[in-house]
């Protein structure tokens, strides 16, 4: 891992020096850089662990949660498993981020060089005069499209938050439904509820499927890869995986109505109404989110088109390369961000969906085994088993679980910044200033066009 990034230090110096870029610039550089330079994964080969549970008859393999403990530690120690994937995914993130930093420094430096020329204002006004109304029209088109992007992001974030809240409500219903099924099972011996239990279990499985499908909806579903590919002349890509499983939700209706008719207790607990409310909220918010997600890339492409046209007008002049510098920044930064997005996604999947994500659950399970051994006082005359169990539990509780939680937050922040395309906001702020200098959109209205 790199201790300090010379590129990041240079960027910081550049930002302090530049009035145009000073306000804010590269959230992904800071957010993804924090992942890149964060603490190393605690060494899973350090702690001892148990692979069997002591009983009065001796050690029993696979008893308690020993099978989970054994498989977790062995996987995390394996060069082809946890350690190998950790090293490979971190290395990929380092390499892509280094390329991203290098591109940013070069392209932001070119913008800085052009905008700080003593002849900058004069050249800009000469361009306006030479192009007639075209330069003003193009800059206005850019900032107006940027305003639309900002509006769509507000809608998108609100819709995604609404989906997350609806998901939380579904999780509560899912938990209540599980408890309801347990109650039914207890009374199954009475003989009248077997078929109803089977039908209610189908409802629970459908709800679980919807909840699981909504596990990762917090990020904006417009990827850095999308914009990079669009600028290269390909189509925009939309990741619409944030929507609910409409088929699963729809199939709930008939099942719930049937159970309500057949089973008074089911109706009395209000599952049908609670699921209906969650479904309505999910579907409404998903429509808003998808519409906004589809609008954003088109507006981004419109912004790039205006910038491209300005660069073409500018090319007719003498020695004025400002809009070409902005165009190069927009194109090259978007392309450089795409592999960072992919590398951060790979690292995030390892941290949040692979074995590291099980650490908190595993630690609680070890404590359950420890409590069981302490209560039942089985054959552990030397205290060796308790020593191994406490060693593994301590390692998970501190440092592994805090490390996993911290890395998860950092990778989320990195991907959120990339997916919201904040690395392209440098150009937005520059174009706001150009619009002011060209007497385009009135200065009082410019604040509306900052994303």
Q: State the helix-helix crossing angle for 120-131 and 271-314, rounded to 10 degrees.
A: 90
Distance CA 35, CA 347 (A): 10
Judge whether 343 and 225 are in contact, CB under 8 Å.
no
Judge whether 339 and 99 are in contact, CB under 8 Å.
yes
Judge whether 169 and 277 are in contact, CB under 8 Å.
yes
Tally of CB atoms within 10 A around 32: 30
The pLDDT score that the predictor gives to residue 220 is: 52
Q: What is the pLDDT along the chain (451 residues), one digit of tens a residue?
A: 333 333 333 333 333 334 334 333 456 667 777 555 557 899 999 999 999 998 887 888 888 899 999 999 999 999 999 999 999 999 999 899 888 888 888 888 888 888 888 888 888 888 888 888 888 899 989 988 888 888 888 888 888 788 777 777 777 777 787 777 767 765 654 555 666 777 777 777 777 777 766 655 555 556 656 566 666 554 444 454 455 566 666 677 777 777 877 777 777 778 778 878 877 777 788 788 878 877 887 888 888 889 999 998 886 656 788 999 998 888 888 888 888 888 988 999 999 888 999 999 999 999 999 998 888 877 777 889 999 999 999 999 999 999 999 998 888 888 888 877 788 888 888 888 888 888 766 555 655 554 4
Q: What is the DSSP letter of 320?
A: -
Name which of 327, 298, 308 is nearest 237 in CA terms.
Answer: 298
7: left (phi over 0), alpha (psi -120 to 50) or beta: alpha
- Provide the residue count of the chain: 451
Q: What global pTM score does this model have?
A: 0.73
* HEC profile of 91-124: HHHHHHHHHHHHHHHHHHHHHHHHHCCCCHHHHH
SS3 55: strand
Distance CA 447, CA 180 (A): 54
The pLDDT score that the predictor gives to residue 193 is: 61
Strand 52-55 versus strand 58-61 pairing type: antiparallel
Query: Could you tell me where the beta strands, DSSP code E, fall in 66-197?
Result: none
């Amino acid at each position: 891992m790199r201790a300090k990034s010379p590129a990041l230090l240079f960027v910081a110096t550049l930002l302090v020096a530049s009035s145009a870029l000073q306000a804010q610039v590269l959230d992904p550089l800071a957010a993804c850089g924090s992942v890149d330079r964060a603490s190393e994964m605690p060494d899973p080969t350090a702690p001892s662990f148990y692979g069997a549970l002591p009983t009065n008859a001796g050690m029993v393999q696979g008893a308690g949660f020993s099978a989970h403990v054994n498989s977790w530690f062995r996987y995390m120690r394996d060069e082809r498993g946890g350690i190998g994937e950790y090293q490979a995914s971190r290395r990929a993130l380092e390499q892509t981020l280094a390329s991203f930093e290098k591109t940013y420094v070069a392209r932001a430096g070119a913008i800085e060089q052009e905008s700080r020329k003593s002849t900058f204002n004069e050249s800009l006004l000469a361009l306006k005069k030479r192009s007639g109304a075209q330069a003003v029209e193009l800059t206005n088109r850019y900032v107006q499209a940027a305003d639309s992007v900002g509006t769509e992001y507000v809608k998108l974030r609100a819709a995604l938050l609404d989906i997350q809240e609806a998901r939380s409500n579904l999780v509560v219903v899912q938990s209540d439904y599980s408890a309801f099924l347990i109650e039914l099972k207890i009374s199954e011996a009475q003989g009248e509820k077997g078929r109803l239990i089977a039908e209610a279990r189908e409802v629970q499985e459908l709800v679980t499927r919807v909840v699981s499908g909504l596990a990762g909806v917090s990020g904006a579903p417009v990827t850095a890869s999308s914009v990079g590919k669009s600028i290269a002349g390909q189509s925009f890509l939309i990741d619409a995986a944030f929507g609910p499983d409409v088929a699963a939700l729809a199939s709930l209706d008939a099942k719930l109505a049937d159970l309500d008719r057949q089973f008074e207790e089911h109706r009395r607990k209000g599952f049908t109404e609670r699921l209906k409310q969650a479904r309505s909220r999910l579907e409404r918010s998903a429509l808003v989110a998808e519409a906004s997600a589809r609008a954003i890339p088109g507006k981004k492409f419109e912004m790039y088109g205006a910038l491209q046209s300005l660069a073409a007008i500018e090319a007719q002049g003498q020695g004025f390369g400002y809009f070409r510098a902005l165009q190069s920044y927009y194109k090259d930064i978007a392309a450089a961000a795409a592999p960072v997005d992919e590398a951060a996604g790979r690292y995030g999947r390892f941290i949040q969906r692979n074995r590291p994500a099980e650490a908190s659950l595993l630690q609680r399970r070890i404590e359950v085994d420890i409590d069981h051994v302490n209560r039942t006082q089985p054959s552990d005359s030397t205290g060796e088993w308790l020593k191994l169990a406490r060693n593994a539990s301590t390692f998970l509780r501190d440092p592994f679980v805090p490390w996993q939680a911290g890395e998860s937050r950092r990778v989320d922040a990195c991907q959120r910044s990339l997916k919201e395309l904040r690395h392209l906001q440098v150009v937005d702020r520059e174009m706001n200033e150009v619009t002011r200098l060209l007497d385009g959109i009135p200065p009082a209205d410019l604040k509306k066009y900052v994303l």
